[in-house]
Each structure stands twice: as structure tokens, then as C-alpha cells.
Amino acid sequence: MPKENTNTDSSRPWPEAMERGRVGDAAFAAAYARVADRERAWIKTGAAALFAACGGPAPRGRRQETVCGHDLCLAWDERPVDFALVVCGPTFASPARLAGAVMPALCARVPEVAAVRVGGAWPKPLLTTLELCGVEAVFRLGVRAFAGLGSALAERGSGVVVLLDGVAAPAWSAPAPAVVSARTSGRLGVFPGSGAAFDWDALAFAHPDRTICVHDAPCPEAAPFLAASGGLAAAAGLDYAAIFTGEDMLEAALGVAPLALGPGREMFWLWPGITPETFRRKRLRASVLHAPAVW
């Protein structure tokens, strides 16, 4: 995952309310030093898989023309939005879900990608996740300051704000950036079945802020794990945000949750509704195709 494709630092300052809470280099360095080597390896593995899932960096611009029937000529122009802002609340603590929100924006080639934590300090694993993904514009804001950002952000041009868990949707009036919600229910389900071995330490690191219910299998006694009973067929009403299960049950798991993950994907999280296309804008032109003159 080339770092030059994910460089989102910008010389253009962000709104003053954000700049007052900018996270400095010393905080990034301290966070990196406190995150263990194997934890950084988990973050890198998850980020690399996300990079591949998003198709790597998109072209900065695309243009396509199609000649249809009835003398119709269509032309599409596609470009990234001017900025993306990923926002989380004070209880959010998941490196996996954070990476799943920023990587699609990076692969969409959004020129300015930033992250904001509303109402609390950044946990060290999250700062390290942002650094390893290539996001260097990171801020802390109070609830009131975030609520008043709409017009200042709109002055930057077109943008998308992604809301993660723990932060309420702002009541911004137009003009304001588009807002996309990426929230989860409070629980994840694990159905190991026969022979599926998950790395419990990696899973706890990936989602320390969610209860992880392990069905009909031994599991760690400490939080965030919780022993549960019942097979996959009975899990449809349990409102799991994701299911972790063996390879032979992944397809069936899609009928239970929007995301089904196999062994080795403890740090992987791809939001079904957040893709690189979320951060790109298409414009369409329709015209009449004029046939060349016949002499």
C-alpha cells in the first residue's frame, strides 16, 4: 500500500475551530510508541486488505462518452469531492471500523481527508491507525464546535462527512457537506463452527467498544467477549452488525448480518454503504448526435 497514494496533509488550513484542536506530531509519536508491534501489524494487515478491496487509488478524473440510440450522446465526468471528514464520538474505539471509513476516501483520491473526534481525546490505537493509513490531519472538537462547522466546511468546496458511532447527526443548514452515517449496533456475533480458529486478541483489539458474542464455543472470559448459545440460523433477530464464522458458513451468514468475515479477517471492516464512489461526484451531459454530412 504505497504511502504516496494516501498522503492527505494539506497546507490549506481547516476551519479555525478545528485547527485549535489539531493533534500534533508529538501525540502521533507517543501513540505509535505505545501500540505494540503485533498491534501495528494487525492494523497494517487490515489496511492493506481494505486498499485491495477498494481497488487501489482511482484515477483523479474519469470521462466517458457513449453514443446511444435515437441520436443520443451521453458524456460522464467523474471526479473526487474536495474533502472528506470522518467523525467519531468519545466512546468510539475501533481501529478496524475507523480504517474502513477512511480508506475508501483515500482510494477515491480525495485531496483532503481529515478525522475529528468529538467530545474526547483520541485513543492511541486510533491515532496509530490514522497514521498508518496516511491521514495526518486529525483534530479534537467539542460538541458545540462540531455543531457549528457546517458553513465553514461548505466554504472548502464539495465534501462528504462520515459519522461513526457516538456522534449525533448535525443540524446543518445549506450550504453544507453531504453527511453519511456509518454506525453499528452494539454487538458482533462469532460462530466458529467446526475448525474455524479466530485470533481473539486481534478481534478484541479491532472492536474493543462492541460486545462480541461467541456462540457455542470456548471464548475469553474478559470483555468484550460474551458466551452465547444458538446456531447461525437463529441469529437473524439478534441485530449483529457483523458475523465472524468459518469459510463454509460465510454465505449463509449474509442472511443474518450485512458483513460476514472469515478467520484471518479480524481487522477487516468494509462498510457496505461506504465505497470510493461515495466520495466521487458524477456529472452527466446529454446532447444530440449529429451525423456527418454526406456529399
Percent pLDDT > 70 in the chain is: 91
For residue 215, pLDDT over 70 is answered with yes
Q: Which three cell numbers stand for residue 74?
A: 451521453
User: In terms of residue numbers, what domain contains 204?
Assistant: 187-261
* 251 and 134, same domain (yes or no): no
So what's the pLDDT on residue 288?
74
pLDDT-based confidence at residue 198 (cuts at 50, 70, 90): very high
**How many Å apart are CA 36 and CA 264, to the nearest integer?**
19
Residue 75: in which H helix or E strand, if any? strand 72-80
Q: Which CATH number does the domain housing residue 13 bear? A: 3.40.50.1980
Report the SS3 class of residue 89. Answer: coil
Give the mean pLDDT of 111-131: 97
* 94 and 168, same domain (yes or no): yes
From the list 6, 3, 1, 8, the residue with the least C-alpha distance to 136 is: 8
* 241 and 200, same domain (yes or no): yes
In a domain, 295, yes or no: no
**How many Å apart are CA 264 and CA 131, to the nearest integer?**
23
* 136 and 167, same domain (yes or no): yes
Q: Evaluate whether 112 touches 8 at the Cβ level (below 8 Å).
A: yes
Mean pLDDT lowest among 7-11, 31-35, 73-77:
7-11
In a domain, 51, yes or no: yes
pLDDT-based confidence at residue 4 (cuts at 50, 70, 90): very low
* 22 and 117, same domain (yes or no): yes
Q: Mind listing the pLDDT tens digit for each residue in 32-63?
A: 999 999 999 999 999 999 999 999 988 776 67
The more confidently predicted of residues 220 and 64 is 220
* 151 and 128, same domain (yes or no): yes
For residue 112, pLDDT over 80 is answered with yes
In a domain, 289, yes or no: no
